[in-house]
Amino acid sequence: MFRTKICDLLGIEYPIIQGGMVWVSYHALCAAVSEAGGLGTLAGGSMTPDELREEIRLVRERTAKPFAVNVPIIMPASEDLVRVAIEEKVPVLTTSAGNPARFTEQIHEAGLKAIHVSPSATLAERAWQAGVDAVVAEGIEAGGHDGFDEITTMALVPQVVEKVDIPVVAAGGIADARGFLAALALGAHGVQVGTRFAATHEAYCCDKFKQAILEAADTSTVVTGRSFGPTRCIRNRLAETILEAERNGASASELLEIIGTGRSRAASLQGDVEHGTIYCGQIAGLIGELKSAGQVIREITEGAAELLGSLHETARR
């Protein structure tokens, strides 16, 4: 059912990748997604190298199936995180927020697959030229850090498909069977899902963080930090403060001072949903209940098969 090039490349049953979300994507979620037939991902962005090594080993205690580690290249510890992933022989390493050429050769020399997250067709083409095995075309609908050009998933994916000769994974605004099937129709070979997996029993984040996602509507998220790094999050007191400062012409350094440090951790782990950053995609309005990661994957794949049958019937009329 829905076996694509990304399945063959990564050795997974379904073309569904769980996005690497800081303070959310730890061993329980990663292993559950992989066990259900997708590709679970550990979020290296919120771990020290030693913590990542421990999380990798905890995943292996729970599943023998392929999984990934995500490393934001911009992080000071990115080299050490990549080294740990290679030493632990993680099957797939996904990179983001930087030039993947920095790591592609050593990833391949170690026998790992390299995937890079790109917010534009131009950057996706550069990643392909740098030698990655697949690219994730991530639209502005996605939660967390997004591209400066703010290209939507529907516009981005087919343009990336035209630019590169490697498998393309669609991301941003995908949470159910409809989004999954739409991504395949756009030419993608799979999807990367973030926010829907954040609202699962296995996600590492606290209950207040998950509840904020469940209560979100289609208009609940905003993009802050456009002058130095666009970030989609749920509108709260912190987000309103940042937006007001941006409207008043605050500099990047002034905005960074407002944001401070540890805001994502404060929301995700400590439950400060007013003064912390709640990374969340625009699709949150479709998410009304907590589910297991396995249930999410089953509903996407089984629902897509049913929907495809309905489309076939419609086409015959």
Residues 6+ apart with CB under 8 A from 288: 214
Average pLDDT over residues 84-111: 96
Taking 90 as the threshold, does the pLDDT of residue 203 lie above it? Answer: yes
Given a cut of 70, is residue 89 above it in pLDDT? yes
With a pLDDT cut of 90, the percent of the chain lying above it is: 85
Of all residues in the chain, the percent with pLDDT exceeding 70 is 99
Interacting residues of 49 by C-beta distance below 8 A, sequence separation 6+: 77, 80, 81, 83, 84
The pLDDT of residue 152: 98
Band of pLDDT at residue 253, cut at 50, 70 and 90:
confident
Q: Tell me, what's the pLDDT at 201?
A: 98
Residue 315: pLDDT over 80: no
CB-count burial class (<10 Å; 0-12, 13-18, 19+) for 194: buried
Q: What is the DSSP letter of 134?
A: E
| Cα radius of gyration rounded to whole Å, the chain | 18
Give the phi and the psi of residue 120 in degrees, each rounded to 5. -150, 160
Output the pLDDT for position 316.
Answer: 75
Q: Quick check: 255 pLDDT over 90?
A: no
Q: Are the C-beta atoms of 94 and 117 separated by less than 8 Å?
A: yes
Location of each CATH 3.20.20.70 domain in the chain: 5-205
pLDDT at 254 over 90: no
pLDDT exceeds 70 at position 122: yes
pLDDT tens digits along 33-80: 999 999 999 999 999 999 999 999 999 999 999 999 999 999 899 999
| The pLDDT of residue 19 | 97
pLDDT averaged over the chain?
95
Quick one: average pLDDT of 259-288? 89
Query: Token pair for residue 207?
Result: 């209950």
Local structure of 268: helix, strand or coil:
helix
User: What is the structure's pLDDT at 199?
Assistant: 98
pLDDT band at 256 (very low <50, low <70, confident <90, very high): confident
Displacement of CA 51 from its chain's centroid (Å): 20
Residue 261, pLDDT > 70, answer no
pLDDT band at 304 (very low <50, low <70, confident <90, very high): very high
- Statement: residue 1 has pLDDT above 80: no
Cα–Cα separations (whole angstroms), residue 219 to 58, 235, 284? 37, 9, 9
| Spacing of C-alpha 16 from chain mean position | 11
Rounded Cα gap, residues 273 and 108, in angstroms: 40
* Confidence band, pLDDT 50/70/90 cuts, at residue 266: confident
Measure the CA–CA gap between 78 and 308, rounded to whole angstroms.
41
This prediction's pTM: 0.95
Q: What pLDDT score does 192 carry?
A: 99
Q: Where are the beta strands (DSSP E) in the chain?
A: 16-18, 40-43, 67-72, 92-96, 113-118, 134-138, 144-145, 168-171, 190-193, 221-224, 231-234
Give me the pLDDT at residue 259, please.
78
CATH code of the domain made up of 5-205: 3.20.20.70
> pLDDT of 137-196, one tens digit each?
999 999 998 988 999 999 999 999 999 999 999 999 999 999 999 999 999 999 999 999
